[in-house]
Structure 1
Amino acid sequence: MPADSAAPTGNLLLDALREPDRALIAPHLEPVSYDKGAIVFEAGSDVNHITFPCQQTVVALIIGTRDGRCAETATIGREGAVGGIVSAGRVPASTEAIVQIGGPMLRLDAGRLQEAKRGSVEVRNLFARYSDCLLAQVLQAAACNALHPIEQRCLRWLLTLQDRIGGDTLPITHELLASMLGVQRTYLTRILSTLQDQGLIRVGRGRITVLDRRAMSVAACECHARVQRHFKTVLGAVYTAEGIDRIEPPAPVDGDREPAMALRGAGG
């Protein structure tokens, strides 16, 4: 973590804050590093820290069932954070957070974030907007998992991961992707083979390469594009062909009215 609070952190949510507001948080950020497959927090555990993925690090929020199956509900990279974001923190986690792409992160005590929110309208506004966007992603994933065929769900997931990595080569195994989608590995292998025959992707050992993003976007369901539009409208996250480009600071507001209005976006 740079000593200068104005220096980029590698996390776009933190970097969207103006220097005086980020100075409320920067001294309390703890650099950490997680390997692929590491657990940031488990379902049912108390969440005492907010964790900010940096650079190409990616975390998935996972729901598991009693029979051992699981499914991904949200994918978070350098555009966001996990752990007590929607709540006020220090409450039991409803999901498990697993690292998909290992790398650097920054941790912040949940109480420190609450102090920063009390001291700055802009900090409150930014994190309220991000909470809205995270909820929108979770709700859209729930609809997608219930309504859309596995081929479209697979493309949606690959596009979401590419957004956060910013490159064409996705370091993902068949086993992990099958787990995220809640299907058997053998079934997923047939799906990936079909997508490869269509010229959309190239499947390799421990990686999947995106060959035609535009065609993948057309073949995928509307869920990926809807989440993109919501992030851009509410938070200012601009998605490009290379991934998530930036997060623009929201306009300053007076009092708490604007965050409350933003929160209505995902909650209906």
Structure 2
Amino acid sequence: MRSPKPAPATNRLLEALPDKDRQHFLSGCEPVTLAFGEVLAEPGEPIRHVYFPTESFISLTTKPIDDCASLEVGLVGDEGMVGSPLVLGVNVSLLHAVVQGAGSALRMDAALFCRELEKSRALRCVLKRYLHVVMGQLAQNAACTRFHVVEERLARWLLMTQDRAHSNQFHATHEFLAYMLGVRRVGVTKAATALQHRNLISYSRGNVTIVDRSGLEAAACGCYATDNATYAKMMC
């Protein structure tokens, strides 16, 4: 089993900045600890802060449609940021952002972020590339939801979560997974049981352990590798 890389000292987006720009930007950031379940943004509400996770990770979900449950469309960890509409000059959130993995993050006031964006060409370039990656991932996620079976999608989500949690163990109930994947709970139970029977994961009372990382990558749909390749091409 391959262990995940240790959590970086800061956010990978900010690490991509030239030293001078990064140090200046970091001087305006406030280190915070995000709690599990903490809501950072609501659809239609003004964006008050931007967040750059370092050890935490955040789930982005749609607004409920026709009184139905919402759907996860993004998972943000140390590779990204929350509050990206500000890069496009939009100060209202389209998505619900809730902390799924507690931990540290860097936070900046939205107004200050916009001023920094105007001053730093390097910051604009990095974040525009990131937005390109996000748009590609959103398109990939739509296709994944439509064409891939639940077991493959669950394996992909577990890998994405492990990457951002920087741990082989994390918490995710069947009810939560059904909500994230937009399927019935029985479908998640069947898929999780299949992965467990293949000795890829261990699952008990909402506690997930990745047992065989390589095997789980083989069980996941190709969207996982595609997302990683897109990020690496544009951001590294």
TM-score (norm 2): 0.89
The match for 1:60 is 59
State the partner residue of 1:243: none
Instruction: Give secondary structure in 2 for the equivalent of 1:134.
Output: helix
1:255 aligns to what? none
The Cα shift of 1:179 comes to: 1.2
- Is the deviation greater in 185-194 or in 86-95? 86-95
Indicate the structure whose relative CO is greater, using CA pairs within 8 Å and at least 6 residues apart.
2
The two structures, once aligned, show a CA RMSD in angstroms of 1.9
TM-superposed CA distance for 1:18, in Å, is 2.5
Distance 1:214 1:9 in 2: 26
Q: Is the 8 A contact 1:9 1:15 kept in 2?
A: no
Q: Distance in 1 between matches of 2:89 and 2:32?
A: 19
Deviation at 1:172, TM superposition (A): 1.9
> What SS does the aligned partner of 1:28 have?
coil
Task: State the Cα distance separating 1:17 from its structure 2 match.
Answer: 2.0
Gap regions ≥5 residues in structure 2: 1-7
Partner of residue 80, structure 1: 80
- In structure 1, what is the equivalent of residue 93 of structure 2? 93
C-alpha separation in 2, matches of 1:124 and 1:67: 37
Kindly indicate which of the two structures has a greater share of residues assigned to helix: 2
- 1:89·1:110 contact (CA, 8 Å) conserved in 2? no
Preserved contact between residue 49 and residue 83 of structure 2 (Cα < 8 Å): yes
Label 1:30 to 1:88 Cα distance change in 2 as closer, same or farther (>3 A): farther
Matches within 5 A, 1:139-218: 139-218=139-218
CA contact (8 A) 1:83 1:89 kept: no
The answer as to whether partners of 1:48 and 1:89 remain within 8 angstroms in 2 is no
Tell me by how many angstroms 1:86 deviates.
6.6
Is residue 35 of structure 1 aligned with residue 35 of structure 2?
A: yes
How far apart are the structure 2 equivalents of 1:91 and 1:120?
19
| Cα deviation 1:21-60 (Å, max 9, x = unaligned) | 02332222122222111111111111132111122x1101
Q: What is the aligned partner in structure 1 of residue 3 from structure 2? A: none
In 2, are the aligned partners of 1:84 and 1:91 still within 8 Å (CA)? Answer: no
* Letter matched to residue 50 of structure 2: I
**What is the match of residue 4 of structure 2?**
none
Alpha carbons 2:60, 2:73 under 8 Å: kept: yes
Percent sequence identity is: 34
C-alpha distance in 2, partners of 1:154/1:49?
31
Give the SS at the match of 2:162. Answer: helix
Shift in Å at residue 88 of structure 1?
3.0
In 1, are the aligned partners of 2:87 and 2:117 still within 8 Å (CA)? no
2:198 and 2:109 map into 1 onto residues whose CA distance is 47
Q: Match for 2:194: what amino acid?
A: T
Secondary structure of residue in 2 paired with 1:73: strand
What TM-score, normalized to structure 1?
0.79
Distance in 2 (CA, whole Å) between partners of 1:108 and 1:48 is: 9
Asked whether the 8 Å contact 2:59–2:76 carries over to 1, the reply is: yes
Q: Unaligned stretches of 5+ in structure 1?
A: 1-7, 237-268
Distance 2:213 2:161 in 1: 12
Deviations for 1:195-251, whole angstroms, at most 9, x for unmatched residues? 111222111223111122222222211101000000010001xxxxxxxxxxxxxxx
Q: Whole-Å Cα distance in 2 between the matches of residues 91 and 25 of structure 1?
A: 20
What is the DSSP-based 3-state SS (H/G/I as helix, E as strand, rest coil) of the residue aligned with 2:68? Answer: coil
